[in-house]
């Protein structure tokens, strides 16, 4: 059920998918949905938590293959992210999409999204430290801007452009982070 809702929410946007469509597509009764999720807002938050877990699952799988080489790890992450962004049905980062759909920062889903982006920057800072950047938090911020930019720029990027652009940019930023 949550999987069906997640797929619908991601493809068509959270606000344009009603609970009636979710229960129809999932083949469950509306009472069942409301037993597991108190409100639709809770369902949206659960959707983002699921996406969050999926994202870090993929991240950790990549990171585990490069425990001793932070540069290789970062490039592997950018490969993976660039490939995902270039997919034909890519519709942007779900966390950013939901944040754009709900301006209220106290919405339960917004809290999930904010935590996700904080964690994202935290992990980038870890890599920046291991890379020996002189100001790791600055490098993490730069990489965070870069990758979030890629998430929202899929439409304007040419096919296959994302990955090389991400990697070239990251290399330039890392080189600069050591000289200063």
- Asked if 72 interacts with a copy of itself (CB under 8 A), we say no
| Contact letters for DNA, residues 71-110 (x by CB under 7 A) | ----------------------------------------
Q: Is residue 25 near DNA by the rule CB under 7 A?
A: no
Residue partners of 59: CB distance under 8 A and separation at least 6: 77, 123
Question: Which residues in the 29-68 window bind DNA by CB under 7 A?
Answer: 29-32, 34-35, 39-41
Longest dimension (CA), the chain: 61
Nearest to 151 by CA among 103, 84, 98, 88: 84
DSSP 39: S
What's the Cα-to-Cα distance from 144 to each of 8, 12, 21, 95, rounded to whole Å? Answer: 27, 26, 35, 14
Can residue 123 be called a binding residue for a copy of itself (CB under 8 A)? no
Q: Which two tokens stand for residue 105?
A: 């920062």
Residues that bind a copy of itself (CB under 8 A): 11-13, 15-16, 91-92, 96-97, 99-103, 105, 114, 117-118, 121, 138, 141-142, 144-153, 155-157, 161, 165-166, 168-169, 171-173, 175-177
Residues that bind DNA (CB under 7 A): 16-21, 27-32, 34-35, 39-41
């Amino acid at each position: 059920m949550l999987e069906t809702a997640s797929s619908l929410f991601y493809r068509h946007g959270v606000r344009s998918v009603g609970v009636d469509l979710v229960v129809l597509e999932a083949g469950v009764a509306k009472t069942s949905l409301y037993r597991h999720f108190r409100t639709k807002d809770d369902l949206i938050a659960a959707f983002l938590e699921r996406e969050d877990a999926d994202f870090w699952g993929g991240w950790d799988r990549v990171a585990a293959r490069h425990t001793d080489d932070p540069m290789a790890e970062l490039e592997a992450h950018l490969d993976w992210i660039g490939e995902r962004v270039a997919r034909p049905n890519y519709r942007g980062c779900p966390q950013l999409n939901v944040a754009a759909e709900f301006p209220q920062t106290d919405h339960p889903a917004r809290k999930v999204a904010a935590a996700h982006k904080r964690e994202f920057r935290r992990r980038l800072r870890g890599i920046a430290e291991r890379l020996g950047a002189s100001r790791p938090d600055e490098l993490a911020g730069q990489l965070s801007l870069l990758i979030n930019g890629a998430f929202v720029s899929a439409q304007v990027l040419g096919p296959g452009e994302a990955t090389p652009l991400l990697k070239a940019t990251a290399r330039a930023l890392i080189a600069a982070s050591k000289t200063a």
